[in-house]
């Protein structure tokens, strides 16, 4: 079967390699001609994970039409701020039944919609949509190091279809019907990783990191439950699993960005240095309308948004968090 992958960043490249080495024919869409040329001629992505030779089952295309021709499934691996544009672009090239799995993480800024909601609004038939999320750093997945992920869909048939496709000897795939919970966790953990990175950059210690991770998990759970998801999802691979990996790993761009913020650097500085999108910087803004709509407190998220987008001082913001009123540990989750 041919599988189309939309997006040739680090995560798209890693998933292409995972599928290609499993024997699937993979066509990866990239917007840069030099990326397409290098993948097709040298089996290397020159911009991301360039030390890995890619499977010869992988080819690259500049056009959606070529990438999607005769595809049996599609994986979308683009930054969250491009989701709607990608959905619209796919409309002319996919039928109403083609299975699509969304591997991007985030919330649409203008609408507050999650990825599956965006794609359903553009393409219809939400039953053929799934999301993939978990503690899955591209740098390790592409090397075949052991890992696991969760695939969520409102259709058990769609979830099982993608579970089989992505499962390998070293990459375990679990299924879930809690699409909203998995998507909220996926967006949320990046914000908390920025907070942990800032704390680390300020030299605040492991206890502070643990504080931010567990209280961040509580924020994640409150919003998940308020939006109809399951609190238990937040304890699984898409929640606690991805939170731990993203907050503690040397591979985490969100944590690294937080460390740079503590040193006085900006989002532009990070983007120029890495060519990567910091999803947590976007999510701390896009989660705010959801928190307001569902009347959920997100104090860590609010502080990170203030630091990144509203000019708040890092040290003052940290003090404000510590001076919040004392509460029950699991308030808002009854």
Q: What is the pLDDT along the chain (334 residues), one digit of tens a residue?
A: 999 999 999 999 999 999 999 999 999 999 999 999 999 999 999 999 999 999 999 999 999 999 999 999 999 999 888 999 999 999 999 999 999 999 998 899 888 899 999 999 999 999 999 999 999 999 999 999 999 999 999 999 999 999 999 999 999 999 999 999 999 999 999 999 999 999 999 999 999 999 999 999 999 999 999 999 999 999 999 999 999 999 999 889 999 999 999 999 988 888 888 877 788 999 999 999 999 999 999 999 999 999 999 999 999 999 999 999 998 888 777 6
* CATH number for position 221: 1.10.1040.10
Within 10 Å of residue 168's Cβ, how many Cβ atoms? Answer: 16
Decide if 230 contacts 298 (C-beta within 8 A).
no
115 lies in a domain? yes
In a shared domain, residues 234 and 138: no
Residue 272 lies in a domain: yes
| 327 labelled catalytic | no
Residue 166 sits in the same domain as residue 132: yes
Q: Which pLDDT belongs to residue 225?
A: 96
d(CA 61, CA 64): 7
Q: What is the pLDDT of residue 168?
A: 97
Task: Please identify which of the residues 164, 189, 285, 327 carries the catalytic annotation.
Answer: 189
User: Which pLDDT does position 334 carry in this prediction?
Assistant: 60
Q: What is the pLDDT of residue 130?
A: 98
Q: Is residue 332 part of a domain?
A: no
Range of the domain at 65: 2-177
Burial of 334 from C-beta contacts in 10 A (0-12 / 13-18 / 19+): exposed
Residues 15 and 75 in one domain: yes
- Between CA 256 and CA 261, with CA 213 as vertex, the angle to 5 degrees is 30
pLDDT at res. 124: 92
User: Judging by DSSP bridges, how do beta strands 25-29 and 2-6 pair with one another?
Assistant: parallel
The structural domain count of the chain equals 2
Enumerate the β-bridge partners of residue 171.
Answer: 147
Task: Tell me 1's DSSP state.
Answer: -
**Same domain? 131 vs 227:** no
Q: Are residues 19 and 159 in the same domain?
A: yes
User: Smallest Cα–Cα separation from 279: which of 180, 193, 176, 151?
Assistant: 193
CATH at 153? 3.40.50.720
Domain stops at, among 114, 142, 177? 177
For residues 226 and 296, the answer to whether their CB atoms sit within 8 Å is yes
* Orientation of helix 179-201 relative to helix 314-322, angle to 10°: 120
Considering the entire predicted model, what is its pTM?
Answer: 0.93
Last residue of a domain, one of 177, 207, 225: 177
263 and 145 co-located in one domain:
no
Residue 258 has what pLDDT?
95
Within this chain, do residues 107 and 149 fall inside the same structural domain, yes or no? yes
In the listed set 158, 177, 196, which residue is the last one of a domain according to the structure? 177
In this structure, the answer to whether residues 110 and 141 fall within a common structural domain is yes
Q: Are residues 131 and 28 part of one domain?
A: yes
Alpha helices in 230-298 (DSSP H): 242-248, 253-262, 267-274, 279-293
Given this model, what pLDDT does residue 303 score? Answer: 96
């Amino acid at each position: 079967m041919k599988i189309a992958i939309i997006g040739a960043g680090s995560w798209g490249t890693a998933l292409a390699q995972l599928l290609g080495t499993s024997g699937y024919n993979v066509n990866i869409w990239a917007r840069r001609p030099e990326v397409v040329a290098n993948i097709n001629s040298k089996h290397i992505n020159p911009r991301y994970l360039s030390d890995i030779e890619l499977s010869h089952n992988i080819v690259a295309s500049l056009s959606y039409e070529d990438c999607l021709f005769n595809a049996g499934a599609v994986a979308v691996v683009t930054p969250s701020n491009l989701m709607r544009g990608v959905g619209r672009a796919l409309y002319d090239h996919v039928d109403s039944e083609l299975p699509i799995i969304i591997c991007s993480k985030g919330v649409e800024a203008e609408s507050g919609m999650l990825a599956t909601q965006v794609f359903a609004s553009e393409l219809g038939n939400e039953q053929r949509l799934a999301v993939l999320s978990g503690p899955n750093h591209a740098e390790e997945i592409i090397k075949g190091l052991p890992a696991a992920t969760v695939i969520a869909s409102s259709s058990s048939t769609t979830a099982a279809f993608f579970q089989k496709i992505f499962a390998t000897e070293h990459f375990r795939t679990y299924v879930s019907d809690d699409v909203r919970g998995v998507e909220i966790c996926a967006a949320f953990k990046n914000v908390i990783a920025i907070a942990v990175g800032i704390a680390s950059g300020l030299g605040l210690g492991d206890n502070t990191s643990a504080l931010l991770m567990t209280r961040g998990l509580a924020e994640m759970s409150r919003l998940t439950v308020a939006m109809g998801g399951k609190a238990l999802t937040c304890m699984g691979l898409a929640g606690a699993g991805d939170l731990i990996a993203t907050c503690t790993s040397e591979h985490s761009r969100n944590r690294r960005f937080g460390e740079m913020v503590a040193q006085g650097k900006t989002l532009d500085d990070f983007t120029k240095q890495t060519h990567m999108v910091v999803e947590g910087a976007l999510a701390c803004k896009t989660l705010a309308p959801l928190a307001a709509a569902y009347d959920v407190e997100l104090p860590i998220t609010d502080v990170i948004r203030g630091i990144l987008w509203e000019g708040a001082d890092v040290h003052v913001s940290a003090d404000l968090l510590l001076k919040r009123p004392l509460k029950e540990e699991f308030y808002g989750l009854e």
